């Protein structure tokens, strides 16, 4: 056995193999610098009372304090509620829009794809300004003008605990479909026409074809969008930060915002790092569960 | 193998010992540098070695950033061996930039910021005490009250740029229509009951649109301003009383919360107040949707005048639907018989150090630059631009030749309020101050948002603040009355 091992040690990396390692090395260095190192560093910081001039090791106190913190649990509950309300609805809406766009001429398809993708490339801050105008609680607010037509009185959309979370959810429902629509359209274009022809011969109507051909064929895309959607939703920060600041009475404080506040308002980087890693673990567990149960019969 | 382990262990032990000794050595070295003797400081102050001082500066006044090149040139002319390198930043990102640099251990030498941020930066260990480097001439140039705001304990952490009062602003025409003797209010102040009656009279409904008596920006962090300004006039000038007990657990606080809620219930303030931010309330003021607004600063008179001029010139950049407004400075009301204690805001040039202890020479140079920015011509120009009072003898002298178009009644009103300005407290320990800030951000602001939205009662908010205060400061660390 030793004889077999020895020559392998001496083997030199030549030709195509060497180039392969070189290319991997670039990706590995980038991964090590910008992903692995920050994660390891965050873990080490989470065990410290962080100070720029010298931190103190405090063991798992930051984790213990996080689990004892009522605000953390409230933020986690808010994040879960936001995720449950936004991700499935967004997937359904995106799929419907993609199905509606599919039969259109190519140019018209591109036009709608562009329209729906625009919010993805637009600045989040600029979009928030528009949404603040829509949610203006006074007479000038667009949404209030709309509900006034229905005989409903002005609502304090972002300022009331009863409507603040719904306002953020509505914002997500109406402005974050660009990527999902593009992916669903690609999936729809990949479905073989013969499936529809066979279904037509069997006398299937639109809904039969939707349920028995389209939905199963789009399952890989749906799984991908579900997993990335949940990850993105758990990390949501910008909307709450710009629209409500987490209020009123922490009704829209999400974990992402809590982490930001701990780091940049209180300079408690140790606690912020601990909460980031807890969030990462929660996201990882949910993703594994999603792959296990939703992805068991998915073929790529 | 055992022998090898012994050798390895010995080497390791020696390395550790050497490292510890090196650390001790460097510590004693830094200690010497940190507490430079006056003689050494004097020597450092006269050093002619080349040095660069960095400063992170937001647009302190409308024309402030336009003068950066001239400021750097003037500084270099005064100290030919020194270079002032200014990094401009917007108000939106200056705090973020500074905080990131502080936490990375490499802040600029000077940054413009509020004196209320001093305890936070001291806790990070990167704020530089300049007591031993500031010369007696520099110190004596300043009015005592604003300079005291830059102190914490025995340390001095920069120079103040201005001392302003957070007040209210009124529309002269609407005040007079409501029968309010605003000149009397400017001179004598008003109680909560007088204020409540006045703003009730200011509510007018015309063509289905309501003009409110009073609108204060309270969205997000602005909520702290509203409550903080009013709390000072309700017998709680600071979060801690003189016995270092947390003050917002007193019965006065509950009374204040009830009073503030009452103004909304009266209909004098909009029920949607919780969504009104700083921009919105100023827009409401200029478009005639409110008689009085807050918070108000003296410079708002200038903004109102600028908009009036645009309206007269039919300039399209005037605020949409705005009307000509004569801005009247008004004091905040006093609550429950408390003495007036105007909320003073002192911003200035904070001095920082990096991870490495600065040399006495560099420290002296940083002090020269901070003083240059916070006194004389620079301060005179900036404060005139801001309609803020001058707080150094050198700036007052420079300002004599500068013309400012300011309403004399407003100037007198601000001076009156400055006489009652809340004095600085440099005795509050940084750890207590940090806990109070956390309690304010995590409990007071969210609950207050709920209170003005009508979803949290004054009693519920008071109970929540009290419970959090007991958790933070202990049963004996709070005011019980």
**B275 and A137: CB-CB below 8 Å?**
yes
- CB distance A268 to A262 below 8 Å: yes
Does residue A107 have a pLDDT over 70?
yes
CA A151 to chain B, closest CA, distance in angstroms equals 16
At B429-458, the pLDDT tens digits run: 988 998 998 899 889 998 998 999 999 999
Residue B441 in contact with partner chain A when CB distance is under 8 A? yes
- pLDDT for the residue numbered B394: 96
Comparing B23 with B262, the larger pLDDT belongs to B262
- pLDDT for the residue numbered B277: 86
Residue B354 in contact with partner chain A when CB distance is under 8 A? no
- pLDDT for the residue numbered B181: 97
Average pLDDT over residues B152-164: 94
B283 in helix, strand or coil?
helix
Residue B437 in contact with partner chain A when CB distance is under 8 A? yes
- pLDDT for the residue numbered A229: 95
Chain B residues lying within 8 Å of A249, measured CB to CB:
446-447, 449-450, 455-456
Chain B residues lying within 8 Å of A267, measured CB to CB:
99, 102-103, 120, 123-124
Comparing A52 with B468, the larger pLDDT belongs to B468
- What domains does chain A contain, in order, with CATH numbers? 14-57 (no CATH), 63-294 (1.10.3720.10)
B57 in helix, strand or coil?
strand
Q: Which chain A residue has the Cα nearest residue B100?
A: A264
Asked if residue B32 belongs to a domain, the reply is no
List all residues 6 or more positions away from B197 whose beta carbon is below 8 Å from its beta carbon: none
The torsion region of residue B321 among left (phi > 0), alpha (psi -120 to 50) and beta comes to left
Least CB–CB distance from A248: residue in B102, B437, B453: B453
Question: Do B380 and B268 belong together in one domain?
Answer: no
Asked if residue B60 belongs to a domain, the reply is yes
**A137 and B104: CB-CB below 8 Å?**
no
Residue B283 in contact with partner chain A when CB distance is under 8 A? no
Chain A residues lying within 8 Å of B120, measured CB to CB:
267
Question: Do B197 and B264 belong together in one domain?
Answer: yes
Residue B445 in contact with partner chain A when CB distance is under 8 A? yes
- CB distance B71 to B378 below 8 Å: yes
Q: How confident is the model at residue A294 (pLDDT cuts 50, 70, 90)?
A: confident
- CB distance B391 to B143 below 8 Å: yes
Average pLDDT over residues B326-334: 97
- pLDDT for the residue numbered B389: 86
- CB distance B199 to B268 below 8 Å: yes
Residue A49 in contact with partner chain B when CB distance is under 8 A? no
Question: Do B212 and B256 belong together in one domain?
Answer: yes
Least CB–CB distance from A269: residue in B96, B103, B449: B103
Strand partners, A52: none
Does residue A25 have a pLDDT over 80?
yes
At A140-194, the pLDDT tens digits run: 789 999 999 999 888 899 989 899 999 999 999 998 899 999 999 999 999 999 9
Question: Do B385 and B320 belong together in one domain?
Answer: no
- pLDDT for the residue numbered A11: 59
Question: Do B461 and B337 belong together in one domain?
Answer: yes
Does residue B112 have a pLDDT over 80?
yes
Half-sphere exposure of B341 (CA within 13 A, CB side): 18
Domains identified in chain B, total number = 2
Task: Please give the Cα distance from B239 to B61 (Å, whole number).
Answer: 30
- pLDDT for the residue numbered B220: 62
Question: Do B378 and B232 belong together in one domain?
Answer: no
Asked if residue B36 belongs to a domain, the reply is no
**B105 and A52: CB-CB below 8 Å?**
yes
Q: How confident is the model at residue B33 (pLDDT cuts 50, 70, 90)?
A: very low
Integer CA distances (angstroms), A207 to A99, A196, A200, A211, A282, in order: 12, 12, 12, 6, 37
Q: What ipTM describes this predicted complex?
A: 0.76
At B271-299, the pLDDT tens digits run: 989 888 888 899 999 999 999 999 998 88
User: Whats the size of chain B, residue-wise?
Assistant: 481
Average pLDDT over residues A233-250: 89
Residue A137 in contact with partner chain B when CB distance is under 8 A? yes
- CB distance B157 to B118 below 8 Å: yes
Question: Do B339 and B253 belong together in one domain?
Answer: yes
Asked if residue B20 belongs to a domain, the reply is no
Question: Do B373 and B413 belong together in one domain?
Answer: yes
Residue A124 in contact with partner chain B when CB distance is under 8 A? no
- CB distance A245 to B443 below 8 Å: no
Question: Do B391 and B442 belong together in one domain?
Answer: no
Chain B residues lying within 8 Å of A159, measured CB to CB:
219, 272-275, 449, 452-453
- pLDDT for the residue numbered A248: 87
Does residue B24 have a pLDDT over 50?
no
Average pLDDT over residues B96-121: 92
Question: Which CATH number is B242's domain given?
Answer: 3.40.190.10
Chain B residues lying within 8 Å of A253, measured CB to CB:
446
- pLDDT for the residue numbered B434: 87
Interface test with B, best of A68, A74, A156, A254 (most B CBs within 10 A): A156
Report H helices in B290-428. 299-312, 360-373, 376-386, 393-399, 408-419
Residue A73 in contact with partner chain B when CB distance is under 8 A? no
Q: How confident is the model at residue A1 (pLDDT cuts 50, 70, 90)?
A: very low
CA B126 to chain A, closest CA, distance in angstroms equals 8
Q: How many helices (H) and strands (E) does chain A have?
A: 17, 2
Q: Pick from B419, B440, B466: which residue ends a domain?
A: B419
Comparing B335 with B39, the larger pLDDT belongs to B335
Q: Pick from B372, B387, B419: which residue ends a domain?
A: B419
Torsion angle (degrees, nearest 10) of CA A65, A66, A70, A73: -160
Does residue A79 have a pLDDT over 90?
yes
**B453 and A245: CB-CB below 8 Å?**
no
**Residue among A251, A224, A213, A196 nearest A77 (CA):** A251
Does residue A7 have a pLDDT over 70?
no
**B442 and A71: CB-CB below 8 Å?**
yes
Does residue A5 have a pLDDT over 70?
no
* DSSP letter, residue B219: T
Residue B220 in contact with partner chain A when CB distance is under 8 A? yes
Task: Please give the Cα distance from A199 to B295 (Å, whole number).
Answer: 69
**B455 and A162: CB-CB below 8 Å?**
yes
Q: What is the rounded end-to-end Cα distance, in angstroms, of chain A?
A: 40
**Cβ atoms < 10 Å from Cβ of B74:** 15
Asked if residue B33 belongs to a domain, the reply is no
**A249 and B120: CB-CB below 8 Å?**
no
Asked if residue B27 belongs to a domain, the reply is no
Residue B10 in contact with partner chain A when CB distance is under 8 A? no
**A51 and B125: CB-CB below 8 Å?**
yes
Residue B273 in contact with partner chain A when CB distance is under 8 A? yes
- Average pLDDT in chain B: 88
**B209 and A139: CB-CB below 8 Å?**
yes
Q: How confident is the model at residue B459 (pLDDT cuts 50, 70, 90)?
A: very high
Question: Do B59 and B193 belong together in one domain?
Answer: no
C-alpha triplet A120, B274, B464: angle, nearest 5°: 110
Question: Do B322 and B451 belong together in one domain?
Answer: yes
**A249 and B450: CB-CB below 8 Å?**
yes
Interface test with A, best of B107, B206, B274 (most A CBs within 10 A): B274
Strand partners, A139: none
Give φ, ψ of B283 to 5 degrees.
Answer: -65, -40
Task: Please give the Cα distance from B79 to B77 (Å, whole number).
Answer: 6
CA A68 to chain B, closest CA, distance in angstroms equals 13
Of B2-11, B123-132, B214-223, B428-437, the range with the lowest mean pLDDT is B2-11
Comparing B63 with B51, the larger pLDDT belongs to B51
Does an H or E element contain A209, and which?
helix A206-209
Instruction: Give the sign of the dihedral formed by CA B112, CA B117, CA B123, CA B129.
Output: positive
Q: How confident is the model at residue A2 (pLDDT cuts 50, 70, 90)?
A: very low
The two three-digit tokens of residue A187, written as one number: 């999936």
Residue B29 in contact with partner chain A when CB distance is under 8 A? no
The two three-digit tokens of residue B449, written as one number: 């948002």
How many cross-chain Cβ pairs, A to B, lie less than 8 Å apart? 89
Does residue B7 have a pLDDT over 80?
no
Q: Pick from B369, B396, B419: which residue ends a domain?
A: B419
Task: Please give the Cα distance from B44 to B49 (Å, whole number).
Answer: 10
- pLDDT for the residue numbered B12: 40
- pLDDT for the residue numbered B16: 36
Does residue B57 have a pLDDT over 90?
yes
Question: Do B473 and B334 belong together in one domain?
Answer: yes
Task: Please give the Cα distance from B402 to B460 (Å, whole number).
Answer: 53
What residue numbers bound the domain in which B380 lies? 46-163+345-419
**B219 and A138: CB-CB below 8 Å?**
no
Q: What is the largest CA-CA distance in chain B?
A: 98
CA B124 to chain A, closest CA, distance in angstroms equals 6
């Amino acid at each position: 056995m030793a004889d077999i091992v020895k020559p392998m040690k001496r083997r030199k990396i030549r030709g195509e193999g060497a180039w392969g390692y070189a290319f991997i090395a670039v990706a590995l260095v980038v991964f090590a610098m910008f992903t692995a190192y920050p994660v390891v560093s965050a873990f080490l910081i989470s065990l410290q009372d962080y100070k720029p001039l010298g931190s103190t090791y405090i063991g798992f106190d930051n984790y213990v304090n996080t689990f004892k913190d009522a605000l953390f649990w409230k933020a986690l509950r808010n994040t879960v509620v936001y995720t449950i309300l936004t991700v499935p609805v967004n997937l359904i809406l995106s799929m419907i829009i993609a199905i509606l766009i599919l039969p259109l001429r190519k140019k018209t398809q591109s036009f709608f794809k562009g329209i729906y993708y625009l919010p993805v490339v637009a600045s989040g801050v600029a979009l928030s300004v528009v949404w603040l105008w829509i949610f203006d609680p006074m007479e000038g607010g667009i949404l209030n003008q709309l509900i006034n037509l229905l005989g409903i009185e002005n609502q304090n959309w972002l300022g009331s605990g009863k409507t603040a979370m719904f306002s953020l959810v509505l914002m997500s429902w109406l402005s974050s479909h660009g990527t999902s629509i593009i992916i669903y359209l690609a999936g729809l274009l990949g479905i073989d026409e013969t499936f529809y022809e066979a279904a037509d011969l069997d006398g299937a109507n639109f809904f039969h074809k939707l349920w028995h051909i389209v939905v199963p064929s789009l399952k890989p895309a749906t799984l991908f969008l579900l997993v990335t959607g949940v990850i993105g939703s758990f990390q949501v920060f910008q909307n709450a930060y710009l629209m409500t600041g987490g209020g009123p009475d922490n009704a829209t404080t999400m974990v992402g915002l809590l982490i930001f506040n701990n780091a940049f308002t209180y300079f408690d980087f140790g606690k912020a790092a601990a909460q980031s890693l807890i969030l990462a673990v929660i996201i990882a567990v949910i993703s594994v569960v999603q792959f296990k149960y939703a992805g068991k019969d998915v073929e790529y | 193998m055992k022998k090898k382990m012994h050798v390895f262990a010995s080497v390791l032990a020696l390395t550790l010992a050497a490292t510890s000794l090196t650390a001790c050595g460097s510590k004693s070295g830094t200690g010497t540098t940190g507490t430079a003797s006056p003689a050494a400081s004097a020597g450092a102050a006269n050093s002619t070695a080349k040095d660069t001082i960095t400063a992170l500066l937001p647009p302190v006044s409308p024309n402030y950033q336009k003068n950066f090149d001239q400021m750097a040139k003037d500084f270099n002319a005064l100290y030919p061996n020194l270079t002032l390198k200014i990094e401009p930043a917007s108000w939106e990102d200056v705090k973020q930039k500074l905080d990131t640099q502080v936490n990375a251990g490499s802040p600029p030498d000077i940054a413009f910021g509020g004196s209320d941020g001093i305890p936070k930066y001291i806790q990070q260990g990167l704020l530089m005490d300049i007591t031993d480097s500031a010369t007696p001439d520099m110190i004596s140039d300043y009015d005592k009250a604003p300079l005291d705001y830059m102190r914490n304990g025995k340390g001095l952490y920069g120079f103040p740029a201005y001392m302003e009062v957070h007040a209210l602003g009124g529309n002269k025409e609407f005040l007079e229509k409501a029968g309010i003797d605003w000149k009397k209010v400017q001179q004598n102040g008003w109680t909560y009951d007088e204020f409540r009656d006045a703003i009730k009279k200011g509510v007018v409904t015309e063509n289905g649109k309501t003009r409110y008596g009073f609108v204060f920006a309270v969205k997000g962090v602005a909520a702290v301003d509203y409550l903080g300004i009013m709390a000072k006039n309700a017998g709680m000038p600071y979060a801690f009383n003189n016995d270092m007990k947390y003050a917002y657990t007193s019965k006065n606080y509950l009374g204040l919360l009830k009073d503030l809620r009452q103004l909304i219930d009266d209909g004098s303030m909009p029920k949607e107040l919780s969504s009104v931010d700083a921009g919105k309330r100023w827009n409401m003021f200029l478009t005639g949707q409110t008689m009085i607004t807050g918070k108000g600063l003296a410079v708002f008179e200038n903004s109102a005048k600028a908009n009036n001029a645009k309206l007269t010139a039919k300039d399209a950049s005037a605020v949409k639907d705005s009307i000509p407004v004569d801005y009247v400075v008004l004091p905040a009301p006093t609550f429950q018989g408390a003495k007036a204690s105007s909320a003073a805001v002192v911003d200035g040039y904070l001095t920082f150090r990096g991870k490495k202890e600065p040399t006495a020479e560099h420290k002296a140079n940083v002090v020269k630059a901070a003083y240059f920015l916070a006194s004389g011509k620079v301060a005179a120009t900036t404060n005139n631009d801001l309609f803020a009072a001058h707080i150094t003898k050198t700036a007052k002298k420079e300002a004599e030749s500068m013309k400012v178009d300011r309403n004399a009644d407003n100037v007198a009103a601000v001076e009156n309020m400055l006489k009652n300005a809340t004095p600085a407290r440099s005795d509050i320990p940084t750890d207590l101050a940090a806990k109070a800030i956390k309690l304010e951000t995590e409990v007071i602001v969210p609950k207050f948002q709920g209170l003005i939205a009508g979803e949290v009662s004054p009693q519920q908010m008071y109970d929540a603040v009290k419970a959090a205060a007991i958790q933070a400061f202990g049963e004996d660390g709070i005011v019980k009355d």
